[in-house]
A and B are shown apart, each in its own frame.
Chain A
Amino acid sequence: MSVPHTIVTGHTQADDRTEQVVGTVLRLGVFIAAAVTLVGGALYLMQAGATRPDYHTFRGQASPLRSLAAVAHGVAAGNAEAIVQAGVVLLIATPIARVALTLVAFAMRKDRLYAVISAIVLALLAYGLLGG
Chain B
Amino acid sequence: MKKLCIGIIFLLFTGVLFGCNSSEEASGDDGGEVKLSLWYPEGETSKAYKEIIKEFNNEYEGEIEAEITFIPRGNKYAYEDKVSAGATSNTLPDLLALDGPSVANYAHSGIIQPIDGIVENQDDFVESIIQQGTYQDQLYTVGPTESTVALFYNKDKLKEAGIEPPKAGEEAWTWDEFYQAAKQLTNKEENTYGVNWTLDYGEWIIYFTGPMVWSNGGSFISEDGTTTDGYVNGPETVEALKYLKKFTEEGLVNLQPTPTEFEDGKAAMMLMGSWEWSKLQNYPDTEWGITYYPKSPEGKQVSPSGDWNWGISTSTQHKEEAATLLNYMMNKKNIVKISNVENKPAARHSSFEMMDKWKEEPLDVLKDQVLNSAHPRPTTPSYPVLTTKYGQAVQNIFLGGDVQEELDKVAEEVDKDLERKVQ
Q: Do A and B bind each other?
A: no
Q: Which chain B residues have a beta carbon within 8 Å of chain A's beta carbons?
A: none
